[in-house]
Amino acid sequence: MTFPDGLTRILDLAPAVPIAQAGESFWLPPPDSTTAGSVDNLFYFILWVAVFFFSLVVALMVLFVILYRRRPGGSPGGAPTHNTPLEIAWTVIPLAIVVIIFYRGFTGYMEMRLPRREAYEIDVVARKWSWQFTYPNGYSDPILHVPAGQPVRLIMRSEDLIHSLSIPDFRVKMDLVPGRYTKTWFHANKDALGPHDLYCTEYCGTGHSDMTTQVIVHELTEFKQWLERAAEGEAAMGPAERGRKLYVVHGCAGCHSVDGSAKTGPSFKGIWTQTHRFANAPPAVVDENYIRESIVDPSAKIREGYEDKMNSYQGTFSDEEIGFLIKFIQSSK
């Protein structure tokens, strides 16, 4: 959709009036992406319009209360009928303001929604309760690493319920919905190098508040080096180490500790060769088959004292990866 040229020119001018400078402030985090400026400007525009009219209405109300209070000997005047200039003013002025807000909001929204074809693509998976970012070379990481000064597109899906990815410094927020792909993009400014917060902003259960990670913005060459080294490092890992990596990246750590502390699920510390008791099955020894079953069919044996809360990871992990996880649990002493 396009607006007539003349109208566009007028509307572009209107809220450019710098009511407040976009920047780190009491209200907002630093504007570290190319779209942050338009979000902030619109926010400040609406904020100050609201402050202005609130003050105007309250001030006039107080003034009229004092000016037209009941006085001894006074008589009530006639009821007001109408005042054409006043009525035109209070129709046209708000209309103009609302059109400006709509135009600014609509163009800003389209800018944020329309995908950039030349963008660097990263796949995102959200699950209870972790983030997994997969790069074009197949490497996965629980932290989002991105190059500065270039558009990055996120292709996102959820494995269980609705999560929402939020990066406040980039003014990015997009839901991840099970059974479909959602997309968003951002362009981190060249001077936004370093870590930024990334978290889930849709209440998704007991681990929601732990569903936090970081975006790390690198210079382009540094980013390429990081990605190469990370992929090489992974290839050189032993089986237990690769199991630990899967444990972190796939969010097992959200429910299972390795230090013996209690979370939603039992800890992995020292369980290898232990005999466990279950709410729905005879006791069993923790071995390869028990761990495999607990990954692909978690409801088969519900550990005493815990609830049947885990989703099946059948299809998420290959047999090879289940092997790595077994080695990792075996090594968690």
**Residues at the contact surface with ligand CUA, assessed by CB under 6 A:** 126, 163, 200, 202-204, 208, 211
Closest CB 208 distance from ligand CUA, rounded Å: 4
Closest CB 167 distance from ligand CUA, rounded Å: 14
Q: What is the number of alpha carbons within 13 Å of residue 298 lying toward its C-beta?
A: 13
156 vs 200 by CB, closer to ligand CUA: 200
Closest CB 130 distance from ligand CUA, rounded Å: 9
Closest CB 322 distance from ligand CUA, rounded Å: 25
Closest CB 132 distance from ligand CUA, rounded Å: 12
Judge contact between 179 and 271, C-beta under 8 A: no
200 vs 322 by CB, closer to ligand CUA: 200
102 vs 203 by CB, closer to ligand CUA: 203
Long-range contacts of 262-268 (CB under 8 A, 24+ apart): 264/206, 264/207, 264/306, 264/307, 264/309, 265/303, 265/306, 265/309, 265/310, 266/303, 266/306, 268/328, 268/329, 268/332
- Amino acid in position 276: H
Closest CB 202 distance from ligand CUA, rounded Å: 5
162 vs 240 by CB, closer to ligand CUA: 162
53 vs 203 by CB, closer to ligand CUA: 203
Element (H, E) at 228: helix 220-235
Concatenated DSSP letters for 205-216? STTGGG-EEEEE
Q: What residue has token string 């406040």?
A: 168
Q: CA 235 to CA 242: how far, in whole Å?
A: 9
150 vs 212 by CB, closer to ligand CUA: 212
Closest CB 128 distance from ligand CUA, rounded Å: 7
- Amino acid in position 106: F
163 vs 301 by CB, closer to ligand CUA: 163
Beta strands 130-134; 151-158: pairing state: unpaired
Entry field: residues in the chain: 333
Judge contact between 120 and 135, C-beta under 8 A: no
Which has the closest alpha carbon to 295: 272, 311, 280, 275? 311
